[in-house]
Amino acid sequence: MKPVGYFEGESMTRRRVFTLAGGALGGLAGAGIILPALGFAVAPIFDQPEEDWQPVGPLDDFVPETYVPRVITIVQGIGEAGKTTVYVRRGSTDLGEDPDSYVAISTRCAHLGCPVRFVQAAGNFICPCHGGVYGFQGEVIGGPPVRPLDRFQTRVTDDLVEIGPRYSVTSQLEPVRARDPGEFTGGVWEYLYPPRPSTAAPPSS
């Protein structure tokens, strides 16, 4: 049985060498283009975040009973597009929190990232997209969100409240590394939605 394209006097060894060498060299040339391009596109996944703390106001601005909205910058250098709103309040002893601590809740819905809003009258956070509802501490009380609202680390420096990196919480409000919306936290989910190198370490609780 002669292969397709056989011609008179063709040596099969020579043909095989040429087939292999042609394939290998072509593959090498292709890899030489594809691999650097792919690495270039994928690199941002492994960028380490810089820890950035921003003051949002004096201690007296914040009370335990309600949230105050504050705008912070989470991505530098892109103007308005790099900002986000956080809801800040002082720790509440009624809820078993340290009265000298501050709680900063992210406005990104934990379902798919729509902008949630704190409704004073109901004491709830409400998402306008798919119907997520969160309680006063950001815990899920209705709708499809997969985990409580994310939080930002807080600290006090020179009588100013400062906001740091974002982190996610489990349904028991234990801090874990920041996840994207739509990703579960806690238990076996920590392996199904692994933490990414591009996120900051969570605060030790």
Given candidates 68, 129, 160, 201, which one binds other proteins under the rule CB under 8 A? Answer: 129
* Residue 138-177 contact track with other proteins, rule CB under 8 A, x = bound: --xxxxxxxx------------------------------
CB of 190 to other proteins, least distance (A): 11
What residues does 68 pair with on adjacent strands? 88
Q: How far is the CB of 79 from other proteins (least distance, A)?
A: 5
Minimal distance in Å, beta carbon 100 to other proteins?
26
- Helix ranges, the chain (H): 12-42, 189-192
Number of separate helices (H) and strands (E) present in the chain: 2, 11
Q: Which residues of 146-179 are buried (b: 16+ CB within 10 A; e: fewer)?
A: bbbbbbbbbeeeeeebbbbbbbbbbeeeebbbbb
Please choose, from the candidates 15, 74, 103, the residue with its C-alpha nearest in 3D space to the C-alpha of residue 200: 74
Site string (71-110) toward other proteins, x via CB under 8 A: x--xx-xxxxxxxxx---------------------xx--
**Two tokens, residue 111:** 């379902």
Chain contacts with other proteins (rule: CB under 8 A): 41-42, 44-45, 47, 49, 69, 71, 74-75, 77-85, 107-108, 111-119, 121-124, 126-131, 133, 140-147, 178-184, 192-196, 198-199
